[in-house]
Amino acid sequence: MAAISDLSFMYRWFKNCNLVRNLSDKYVFITGCDSGFGNLLARQLVDRGMRVLAACFTKEGAQKLQQDTSYQLQTILLDVTKTESIKAATQWASDSYQGPCSGLWALVNNAGVGLPSGPNEWLTKEDFVKVINVNLVGLIEVTLHMLPMVKKARGRVVNMSSCGGRVAVIGGGYCISKFGVEAFSDSIRRELHYFGVKVSIIEPGNFRTAILGKDGLEKHMRKLWERLPPETRESYGEEYFRIYTDNLKSTMQLADPRISKVTNSMEHAIVSRSPRIRYNPGLDAKLLYLPLAKFPTPVTDFILSRYLPRPADSV
């Protein structure tokens, strides 16, 4: 017991000693702070004494976060799909520095959407573009605008990906965008290495957030189904629609509500002197999705195809 206690003390000591110094002087810019991961991370970093620049999509989200925190946090409205909004947020962040701060210590690209998602044939080009513009193109443009400030601080870029960026578990723009986040993060990590900038990728499993919107999955799937041409609906069949929707709802109901597992990983990537390249919070990430991503492709296809119902017009 004494040996275990000593090891525990040494671990806590090493963990605390391995932190970046002068956290109270460092600024962190976070996108997508209305709710979920971004909102909780902003609160955690304020509790650590850091200066947080929280970007929200809605005025209500910004006001609520500002009221619930302290002067160490400032908010701004940001639409990551609009260049002018990104330019304004970048200038605002640059003007926010005070005291001994030099540059932006960390950029956290957290903003994201999950819908529209579903069988690819049920979706339109606009459905794909809506998700990809937020999750990937917006993330890239925010990063490109903020990079000079991050390089000045020799700081961090933390990008929110997903296990869906390692294995495509659902149709639509979500997994496509997350695969893109992985590629972009890998390339800039190598490019920024000589500038002293570290890049981390967060790849969570299923966690319960508002990323799937407020209207409910069943309503979303019904909308996709009803707009399909009659011949497409016939080829899949009503039974396919019902089972697919039920499976998706069951997966979301099993999602882990303890989102602090994700924000703790994000926090570590910001405050540790030795941040990891990839973080995989969630048991399902470690035990299901990552193994699926590493299996031979036919094996992964076989396992994931068992999750899909059989269409009415199947061979």
- For tokens 């000693």, the residue is 17
Confidence of residue 209 (pLDDT cuts 50, 70, 90): confident
- What is the predicted pLDDT for the residue at 99? 57
Confidence of residue 208 (pLDDT cuts 50, 70, 90): confident
Q: Which of 1-10, 82-91, 194-203 has the lowest mean pLDDT?
A: 1-10
CATH placement of domain 21-215+257-289 = 3.40.50.720
pTM strictly above 0.75: yes
The mean pLDDT value for 61-73 works out to 92
Please pick, among 27, 97, 174, 244, the residue that the annotation labels catalytic. 174
Q: Which of 96-100, 110-114, 165-169, 203-207 has the lowest mean pLDDT?
A: 96-100
Q: What is the pLDDT of residues 289-311, one digit of tens each?
A: 999 999 999 999 999 998 899 99
- For tokens 């990063």, the residue is 143
Confidence of residue 134 (pLDDT cuts 50, 70, 90): very high
Whether the predicted pLDDT of 11 surpasses 70: no
The overall average pLDDT reported for the chain is: 92
Residue ranges per domain, the chain? 21-215+257-289
- Between CA 113 and CA 31 the distance in angstroms is 12
Confidence of residue 2 (pLDDT cuts 50, 70, 90): low
Active site residue 236: no
- N residues, the chain: 315
Q: Which of 147-161, 244-258, 296-310 has the lowest mean pLDDT?
A: 244-258
- What is the predicted pLDDT for the residue at 142? 98
Q: What is the pLDDT of residues 189-200, one digit of tens each?
A: 999 999 999 999
The mean pLDDT value for 255-268 works out to 95
Whether the predicted pLDDT of 160 surpasses 90: yes
